[in-house]
Amino acid sequence: MDSETVDRLNAARRFGAGIQYARQHLYASFDMALYGEQPGPAFDTWKEMEEGTTLGFVPGTNFPATFSHIAGGYAAGYYGYMWAEVIALDMLSAFGDTLINPQVGMRFRREILSRGGEEPAGVLVERFLGRPVQNEAFLKEITGQR
């Protein structure tokens, strides 16, 4: 593929990312609010939080009734989706400018894939990275700098 096509595909992939990340943040914040020290009624809490966003609250909707994560055992764990992306992008950054890096690929295979559940995932990730997880790659992704 020529570089122009790659640039267009990357632009299409990033289209709407700001809204997507803002929405994910809202979902995670809503989940945390419901499991906080003084939770309020789900609908009232959601309405207040959504009204505070750029898109605002849409009358006649009842998002909490459709958000199965809040009743499905996550218990203030919805933020894990974004945290998983932070970790994944940090690990991806270890490959540098090319995903076809045999040395890093073999290290990933050896340090992550071949270990399975031998040790906690965080230990495996830090060993692969050679450091604690950082959020720089995630911030570059959500600001379109990657």
Per residue in 15-74, pLDDT (tens digit) is: 888 888 899 999 999 999 998 889 899 999 999 999 999 889 999 999 999 888 877 777
Q: Quick one: which of 28, 57, 54 has its CA closest to 43? A: 57
**Which pLDDT score is estimated for 56?**
93
- pLDDT for 77 equals 84
Q: What is the pTM of this model?
A: 0.77
pLDDT in tens, 78-133: 888 889 999 999 999 999 888 889 999 999 999 999 998 899 999 999 999 999 99
Whether 146 shows a pLDDT value over 90: the answer reads: no
**Neighbour-count burial for 21-42, b at 16+ CB within 10 Å, e otherwise:** beeeebbbebbebbeeeeeeeb
What pLDDT, on a 0 to 100 scale, did the predictor assign at position 61?
94
For residue 55, give every residue at least 6 positions away whose Cβ sits within 8 Å of its Cβ, in sequence order, or none: 19
Closest by Cα among 31, 25, 15 to 52: 25
Q: Which residue has the higher pLDDT, 134 or 20?
A: 134
Confidence band of 10 (pLDDT split at 50, 70, 90): confident
pLDDT of amino acid 68: 86
